[in-house]
Amino acid sequence: MATTGILSAHPLLLLLRELDHRGIDPAPALESSGLTVDRLHRLDIPVPAVQGLRLVRHLIDLAADPDLGLAAGRHARPDDLGLAGLALRSSRDVTTGLAIFSQLQLSSAPYFSGGIGFSPDGLAVHYDPELGRRTPRALHDLFLTSAYSIARHVLDDFVPAALELALPEPGDRSGYDRLLPVPARFGRQRTRIVIPAATLQGVLPHHDELVHRMIASHVLDQQPDSRPADLVGEVRALLLASPDTGLPSITEVAQRLATSARHLRRQLQREGTSYLALLDEAKRELVLQHLAEHPQATGPELAARLGYTEPPAFYRAFKRWTGLTVTEYRDRLRPPGRAPGTTSRDDLVTVADDLSGVSPSWGVGTLV
């Protein structure tokens, strides 16, 4: 049956780069596939699958190396990605960089077909093969090592949390053990590289705020009306994500959503809310959760946790949120006759129902 579909030219060019590195003339493979180097450099035009697969097979034969894809991926650099690569290097953090990168990939020739999503170990960048199960092993290998190579140029001393392949384990895996920094996991649902959760928190070593803002502005110009399907939910989740490191500003939230603070304000206004309203809701939820888990926390401690420089401002906000002072709220957590520090789960459920109408699933299950 004839092979239909298309392939990106980027991985094919990496394979050619590896052959050139080895001093092997790729001309016979190019001729047999009906492709030329000039044609492959026209990145805006996808390569017909039948030609691309024929080129991959013949390049592997010329190199006499089934691990050619693994080796070729080592040549990948952020510069190969054009503006998307510059976005990765200049962004403040990994999450923001990948958000902008994914938007740019939608409006240009993609480096690889894939996607981004959170996993228990961190942030996963996965490969969605254009040809499904017909995709040769060399392209899976190439995705994995090129993603790792690019990450090393964006993050100093980068070590992935996991490298996984949607392929059965080969009889000889020595190439994987030799060329990959961590053991490859075979037989997985997707081919993907997982960026450790701890890596997502730090500022990127090549961060350039001016360049980042220019690229983010370009993304907005390209997609002026685009926004997450649940923008309010996205903003709320970002506000509640890392209470121990402080609540993010609207500029920081906008950066993580690959937009500008001005554009985000307009989008939230269309949704009938504002950043300040969502911030106020987040503070209320965070302080009630913290009091549920740490009932002996003092007012100044709670104020500092939410970023209040003056406790009186926090006390006024707390009274507005609950109708009670901090002391009165704490007394409601502790029934008459019970010693301080022995708040029960049932007490917290009652207070949650009475005062906030919020489902008592904040984490009170950790209390005794």
User: Does one domain contain both 149 and 242?
Assistant: no
User: Does one domain contain both 279 and 258?
Assistant: no
Share of the chain above pLDDT 90, in %: 37
pLDDT band at 341 (very low <50, low <70, confident <90, very high): very low
User: Does one domain contain both 250 and 281?
Assistant: no
User: Does one domain contain both 282 and 355?
Assistant: yes
Supply the mean pLDDT for the chain: 81
Question: In this predicted structure, what is the pLDDT of residue 113?
Answer: 78
Evaluate whether residue 285 is within a structural domain.
yes
Evaluate whether residue 50 is within a structural domain.
yes
Average pLDDT rounded to a whole number, residues 273-296 = 87
Question: In this predicted structure, what is the pLDDT of residue 328?
Answer: 84
Evaluate whether residue 127 is within a structural domain.
yes
What is the pTM assigned to this prediction?
0.62
**Tokens 């402080």, residue?**
246
pLDDT band at 258 (very low <50, low <70, confident <90, very high): confident
User: Does one domain contain both 244 and 263?
Assistant: yes
- Judged against a pLDDT cut of 70, whether residue 2 lies above it is answered with no
Q: Give the tokens for residue 260.
A: 């500008």
Looking only at the bridges linking them, the beta strands covering 6-7 and 47-48 are antiparallel
- Judged against a pLDDT cut of 80, whether residue 339 lies above it is answered with no
User: Does one domain contain both 179 and 193?
Assistant: yes
User: Does one domain contain both 141 and 196?
Assistant: yes
- Can you tell me whether residue 146 is helix, strand or coil? helix
Average pLDDT rounded to a whole number, residues 280-301 = 86
Evaluate whether residue 207 is within a structural domain.
no
Evaluate whether residue 211 is within a structural domain.
no
Terminal Cα-to-Cα distance of the chain (whole angstroms): 65
Cβ-Cβ contacts under 8 Å for 245 (sequence gap 6 or more): 201
Counting the structural domains of the chain, the total is 4
Evaluate whether residue 71 is within a structural domain.
no
For 345-361, write each residue's pLDDT tens digit: 333 333 333 333 333 32
User: Does one domain contain both 239 and 335?
Assistant: no
Average pLDDT rounded to a whole number, residues 184-210 = 90
Question: In this predicted structure, what is the pLDDT of residue 333?
Answer: 63
- Judged against a pLDDT cut of 60, whether residue 80 lies above it is answered with yes
Its domain, for residue 349, covers: 274-368
Question: In this predicted structure, what is the pLDDT of residue 65?
Answer: 95
Evaluate whether residue 155 is within a structural domain.
yes
Q: Choose one of 37, 65, 93: the last residue of a domain.
A: 65
- Closest of 179, 220, 210 to residue 66, by C-alpha: 179
Evaluate whether residue 206 is within a structural domain.
no
User: Does one domain contain both 88 and 190?
Assistant: yes
User: Does one domain contain both 292 and 243?
Assistant: no
Q: What is the distance between the alpha carbons of residues 96 and 110, in angstroms, rounded to a whole number? A: 18
User: Does one domain contain both 91 and 171?
Assistant: yes
Alpha helices in 5-135 (DSSP H): 9-21, 27-33, 37-40, 49-63, 68-72, 83-90, 94-106
User: Does one domain contain both 281 and 250?
Assistant: no
